[in-house]
Structures are given as C-alpha cells and as structure tokens.
Structure 1
Amino acid sequence: MDRIRTVSCFSKLNDEQIEKLKKISVIKKFSAKEILFYEGDAPIYLYVLLQGTLKVYKTNHKGQQIFLHQFYPGGLVAELANFENIPYPATAEFMSESEVLRIDYKALEHDFFKNPDISFEIIKSLIAKHKILIDVIQKEVILTADAKVAKFILENGELFKTLKNTQVASILNLTPETLSRTLSKFKSSGFIELDDKHHIRVLDAQKLEEVL
C-alpha cells in the first residue's frame, strides 16, 4: 500500500492522510482479459492502474469492439463517471497481468476533496480525458486506415514489441488484415523496416508524417 505515494494525485499527502486513504482503499490483482467494469455499470470505486495495461472500449450494434483508449500505470480510470455520478460509458478490460488501487469514491470525496492538491490533479486528469476524446473523434472520423497506422507508429512504435498485431489492430479499430497490408505497404515504400518478430524501425519519419 506504500505504492499509493507513487500516484500523482496522492504524492503530496502527509503520513496521517496516507493512513486514512489506506483505510478506504484496497489493491486488487487481475489477469489479462478480466473486466474491471462494464459499460452501464454504476461507479462505486475510483480506480488507479498501478501495474499492467487496461483498454477501454464501446461495443456497437454488431457486437464489435470500438477501442477508445489504453491506460498505463499511474492513471485514474474513468473518473468522470465518478465525478458526474453517471454509469460507465464504456467497458474496461485488462490486456495483461495488472494491479489496481480501488478506492471507495464516496469516502474519498468526503474526506479528501477539500485538499487542493488532490482536486487539482483530478481536474488535470479530466482535462486529459477530454483531449483523449477529441483524439478519438479525429482518429475515427478523419483519419484513413493508412493515417491511423502511420500515427500509431510515430507515437507508439515501441508497442509493436510488446503487443500482438491483433491487439494493435484492435486499438486502431482496424481488422488485422488491414493492419498487415498497411505495414507491408509502408515497408515496401521504404518508410519502415519490419523484422520477423514484427518489430518496427522507422526509416523515413517524414514520409509517415505526410500520410497524416
């Protein structure tokens, strides 16, 4: 539980406050593919991802997943639902072995929201989520498949070393076949180098940027 101090929201709390926070918190472990919450669930806890990766997605009328965002350690998860007291707008599923700090939200609100440091960090997190939403809208409405892949390579190329192509395709809301064709196209055009393990090395970043 000493890892609570590593979370930016709580890094400035004193020892007494940390002990108080521990009493309303618990660390939970999850396996890959386990669900943290489903779209439509009522928010009871505030979640902080301590270890692992977590994806958030919506499901369309055909039952297909529409990827929205991927969380990494240190981030608050779907805190807007807590803040506005609305059902979770999407489903959260773990992509790897993970640990989550689960905090009783009502107790947190009652005991800690008068603390300016915590309030400021939550506001910053909400602003960041707004930017993520804008990025999702841009990606889905404006960007072509080629542009989605080029943007992902430029911004998150290292993830090709840890994620399977099917996972990357899911993140980009593309079929694995479309992702594979696009990577092959970029390779034959000399934009990237692709080894047998599908690790990517960018050869011409300017050409990838032009795809955008």
Structure 2
Amino acid sequence: MQFSEELLSFFEAIGKKQEYKKNAILFYEGQKPKDLYLLLKGCVRLYKTDEAGLVINIHFLQSPSFIAEMPVFEGLLYPASASFESDSVVLKIDFQKFKEKLFAHQEICMLFIKSLMLKIKFLEYSINQNFTMSVRLRFIKFIIGRKAELENFAQKEIARFINTTPETLSRTIKKLKEERLIDTCSGKIKILDLEALKQCL
C-alpha cells in the first residue's frame, strides 16, 4: 500500500514514532486497543495461539501498512497477537484525532477502506490456504512466489510462513528433492524445475 508524503506528514502530526527490536511484542490477543498503529519500517507477524500452545500465523505485514485497524475502529479486543519479524518503526496514532479527520479527508477515507478490503481478501486467502491446501502445495506456492528471495529464507522460517512444523517441511523437501524439482544448498532452497512445480498447483 502506498502512502503519499502529504498523508505521512498528516499521520506524523497526530502520532508518535516508536522503534521496536526484532521479536518484540506489539500487542497480545485479548488486549484492548488504545492507538492506531501504522508500520513505517519493517515486518510484523500476526498470529494466534490455540489451547494446546500451537502457534498459527495469520499474516505477515510489510511496511507501510496499518496494523489490526478493525479492532481499533470497532472498539473490539485484539483477535490475535502481533510481534516484529525485524527491527521496525511504528507510528502510534491518536485514534480519536484520526477519527475526527477520517470522514472529512477523502484520501484518508479511501486509504482506510482499501486497507480493510486488502485485509479481508488476505484473510479469505489465508483460510483457503491453511485449511484446504496440503503442506506440499503451500510450500510450492511459497517458493514460486518468492523464487527471487529464497536465499534469504531458512527452512525454519519457511515452516513458520506456511504454518507447519520444521519436521513436516523437511519431509516435504526431501520428497521434492527425490522428484528432482528442488535442491538445497547450505539449508537454503534452490528451484530446479520451475515449470514442473507450477504444474503441481
């Protein structure tokens, strides 16, 4: 999502920048929102933890992006927790001041609506992927979609992204290597036959 310099200046005028280190927690599931958060730099992971302690990743937000804006707007508790995947910068915006300006500023209103629509579309995609796709298909979609960045992802990180265990992913990788579709080098994934992988989807 793109923010104009004018909009960023507007948000900064009613907010306060705050830096967070990698793995820091922004908020926990069940907490009551106080401010509207705008991610200016870095990456945020939204996740839920079930009764058995299993962590389910919902979304990885890249800057710039609003973070969990719907609970703030509706006055609801956060339905998930948020932590930082990298050193990040967040703008904490006074929600009352934001709400006063929202409907009087067309560009802000449209940006907010677009943000909500993108989150809804991603939620639908996430539900479809995590509950109807096998680990094999989720992994293949991941490596095809990020083929230019694979050297930046350790296998443990990929497992988190596609909501599976490192052990299950390891078995999936082993089978795809046996099929000569991928290979590994120093623990990183290397695609050998992109077209054959696409045909698996």
Query: Which sections of structure 2, spanning at least 5 residues, go unmatched?
Result: none
**For the Cα contact (< 8 Å) 1:53–1:72, is it kept in 2?**
yes
Q: RMSD over aligned Cα, in angstroms?
A: 2.0
Q: Is 1:205 aligned to residue 177 of structure 2?
A: no
Spell out the pairing of 1:96-115 with structure 2 (5 A cutoff): 96-115=86-105
CA distance in 1, matches of 2:37, 2:148: 26
- The CA deviation at 1:54 is 1.1
TM superposition outliers: structure 1 runs of 4+ over 6 Å = none
How big is each residue's C-alpha offset from its partner over 1:40-92, in whole Å with a ceiling of 9 and x where there is no partner?
Answer: 11122111112221110011110111010101111111111122221111000
Aligned to 2:2: 8
Q: Is 1:83 aligned to residue 62 of structure 2?
A: no
- The CA deviation at 1:160 is 3.5
**For the Cα contact (< 8 Å) 1:12–1:117, is it kept in 2?**
no
Look up the SS of the partner of 1:87 in the other structure. coil
- The CA deviation at 1:24 is 2.0
CA distance in 1, matches of 2:4, 2:28: 27
How big is each residue's C-alpha offset from its partner over 1:95-146, in whole Å with a ceiling of 9 and x where there is no partner?
Answer: 1111111111111111343211111011111111011111111111110110
Aligned to 2:41: 51
Letter in 1 for 2:129: K
Q: How many residues are paired up?
A: 201
Aligned to 2:23: 33
Look up the SS of the partner of 2:183 in the other structure. strand
CA distance in 1, matches of 2:149, 2:31: 30
Spell out the pairing of 1:22-171 with structure 2 (5 A cutoff): 22-171=12-161
CA distance in 2, matches of 1:34, 1:141: 28
Aligned CA distance change for structure 1 residues 197 and 39 (closer, same or farther; 3 Å)? same
CA distance in 1, matches of 2:4, 2:52: 41
Look up the SS of the partner of 2:146 in the other structure. helix
CA distance in 2, matches of 1:180, 1:32: 26
> Identity of aligned pairs, percent?
33
**For the Cα contact (< 8 Å) 1:9–1:117, is it kept in 2?**
no
Letter in 1 for 2:164: L
